[in-house]
Amino acid sequence: MSPGPEPVPLAFQEAGAGPPVLVLHGLLGQGRNWASLAKPLAARRRVLLVDLRNHGRSPHHPETTYPAMAADLEALLDRLGLARASLLGHSMGGKAAMVFALTRPERVDRLVVVDVAPVDYGPRPDFEAYLRAMLAIDPGRFARRAEVEAALAPVAPDPRIRAFLASNLESCEERLSWLPNLPALLAALPALAGFPEDLRPAPITLPVLAIRGGRSDYVRPEHEPVFRSLFPGLRLETVAEAGHWVHADAPATVLALLESFLPAG
* CATH number of the domain where residue 16 is located: 3.40.50.1820
Say yes or no: 224 and 172 in one domain: no
Say yes or no: 107 and 213 in one domain: yes
Of 186, 204, 238, at which residue does a domain stop?
Answer: 186
Give a yes or no: residue 232 inside a domain: yes
Of 156, 186, 216, at which residue does a domain stop?
Answer: 186
Say yes or no: 112 and 49 in one domain: yes
Distance separating alpha carbons of residues 184 and 4, to the nearest angstrom:
19
Say yes or no: 90 and 172 in one domain: no
Would you state the pLDDT for residue 172?
83
Say yes or no: 88 and 201 in one domain: yes
Distance separating alpha carbons of residues 124 and 173, to the nearest angstrom:
35
Distance separating alpha carbons of residues 254 and 239, to the nearest angstrom:
8
Say yes or no: 113 and 134 in one domain: no
Say yes or no: 94 and 57 in one domain: yes
Phi and psi of 162, rounded to 5°? -60, -45
Give a yes or no: residue 6 inside a domain: no
Of residues 127, 150, 125, 126, the one with CA closest to residue 137: 150
Supply the pTM of this predicted model. Answer: 0.96
Q: Tens-digit pLDDT profile for the chain (265 aa)?
A: 456 789 999 999 999 999 999 999 999 999 999 999 999 999 999 999 999 999 999 999 999 999 999 999 999 999 999 999 999 999 999 999 999 999 999 999 999 999 999 999 999 999 999 999 999 999 999 999 999 999 999 999 999 999 999 999 999 878 999 999 999 999 999 999 999 999 999 999 999 999 999 999 999 999 999 999 999 999 999 999 999 999 999 999 999 999 999 999 9
Would you state the pLDDT for residue 3?
67
Tell me whether residue 60 is exposed, middle or buried, using C-beta atoms within 10 angstroms of its C-beta: 0 to 12, 13 to 18, 19 or more.
Answer: middle
Of 141, 164, 186, at which residue does a domain stop?
Answer: 186
Say yes or no: 159 and 36 in one domain: no
Say yes or no: 111 and 130 in one domain: no
Say yes or no: 159 and 108 in one domain: no
Give a yes or no: residue 113 inside a domain: yes
- Domain region containing 252: 11-121+195-261
Phi and psi of 191, rounded to 5°? -70, -35
Say yes or no: 110 and 44 in one domain: yes
3-state secondary structure of 59: coil
Would you state the pLDDT for residue 137?
96
Q: How many domains does the chain contain in total?
A: 2
Of residues 187, 64, 169, 189, the one with CA closest to residue 126: 189
